[in-house]
Amino acid sequence: NPGSPLVPGGPSAPGTRGEPGFDGRPGLIGQPGLPGATGQPGQPCLDEGDYMTGILLVKHSQSEEVPKCYAGHHKLWEGYSLLYTEGNEKAHNQDLGFAGSCIRRFSTMPFLFCDFNDVCNYASRNDKSYWLSTNSPIPMMPVEESGIAQYISRCVVCEAPSNVIAVHSQSINVPDCPNGWEGLWIGYSFVMHTAAGAEGGGQSLASPGSCLEDFRATPFIECNGARGTCHYFANKLSFWLATIEESEQFVTPRKQTLKKGNLLQRISRCQVCMKIT
């Protein structure tokens, strides 16, 4: 006889959690998204300056006009052409090819002196300053205050892209720059200068400061600090590289006096050159 039907059992207890399965394969690359919204405009660019080599070139106009830096050069500052100072009857020279010869502000007395008593004095002695001058007519009397400006040369300090030198021909012909160098300006070979008490200074002949664009028998003016006046005095002398003929190199020099109108016959020419990069 058939047995009685089985009764279904109750639900079993949950089994234990299985081990994680293997990672699936990467899905297909999705379609590019829609373009985003336009961003906000950026901040305006700032001129932070382009400092290149650290090689400085000083240009003196020998006029009231501030000279300009050459194309591709970076202007650092402009000022007035200080040739040298004299204190306690001793002179200290500034090479016109160095940045120290172009100071930002003019004064007949640009310095003061201090002693061991911790005391400093300004414009209280007969100290002097000497400045590269302009071609303004020599005044009959010392000039003062605003009347001085027309006699003081202006200058500019520039950063150059490569080295700069002066070359001198020791003849009346302008020398060529060496191969691989280009000319910046031509001039006359300025060597040294003296004034009160036979004090003075000079220029390195390799320095651009030794090649002045304009020749003047008296290219600088004396300023008295305490009095606040400037004037051209007879005791100021300028010294220039002379022309030397090839055949006269080892011959005793012949005395010669050159008068106005013939001065340039014995003044050496020069050119300031910059390395081509």
pLDDT in tens, 34-69: 888 888 888 887 655 555 689 999 999 999 999 999
Q: What is the pLDDT of residue 132?
A: 97
Res. 151: pLDDT tops 80: yes
Mean pLDDT calculated for residue range 117-129: 90
Q: What is the pLDDT of residue 49?
A: 52
145-152: Cβ within 8 A, 24+ apart: 145/228, 148/106, 148/108, 148/223, 148/229, 148/230, 149/64, 149/106, 150/64, 151/221, 151/230, 152/64, 152/80, 152/81, 152/106, 152/221, 152/230
Altogether, the residues listed in the chain come to a count of 277
Q: For residue 168, what are the β-bridge partners?
A: 270
Class of domain 55-244+264-275 (CATH, top level): mainly beta
What single letter denotes the amino acid at residue 3?
Answer: G
Q: Assign 4 a pLDDT band (cuts: 50, 70, 90).
A: low
Please, what is the average pLDDT of the chain?
90
Q: Assign 101 a pLDDT band (cuts: 50, 70, 90).
A: very high
Mean pLDDT calculated for residue range 83-99: 92
**Which residue, chain included where needed, has tokens 């003296």?**
194
**Which residue, chain included where needed, has tokens 């006029």?**
63
Res. 106: pLDDT tops 90: yes
Mean pLDDT calculated for residue range 64-80: 96
Mean pLDDT calculated for residue range 246-270: 93
Q: What is the pLDDT of residue 186?
A: 98
Which pTM was predicted?
Answer: 0.79
User: What angle (nearest 5°) sits at the alpha carbon of residue 162, between those of residues 158 and 165?
Assistant: 85
Pair of tokens at residue 171: 């003849």
Res. 124: pLDDT tops 70: yes
Least confident of 29-33, 169-173, 238-242: 29-33
Q: Which one has a higher pLDDT value, 126 or 67?
A: 67
Q: How many Å separate Cα 124 from the centre of its chain?
A: 32
Mean pLDDT calculated for residue range 19-26: 80
Q: Assign 20 a pLDDT band (cuts: 50, 70, 90).
A: confident
Q: What is the pLDDT of residue 239?
A: 95
- pLDDT over 70, % of the chain: 94
Q: Name the residue among 190, 267, 200, 205 with its Cα closest to residue 236.
A: 200
Res. 2: pLDDT tops 70: no
Q: What is the pLDDT of residue 35?
A: 86
Q: What is the pLDDT of residue 3?
A: 63
Q: Assign 15 a pLDDT band (cuts: 50, 70, 90).
A: confident
Q: Assign 16 a pLDDT band (cuts: 50, 70, 90).
A: confident
- Strand positions, DSSP E, the chain: 55-60, 74-87, 90-93, 102-103, 113-114, 120-121, 128-132, 143-144, 154-160, 164-168, 181-194, 200-202, 211-212, 220-224, 229-231, 237-240, 269-275
Where are the chain's structural domains? 55-244+264-275
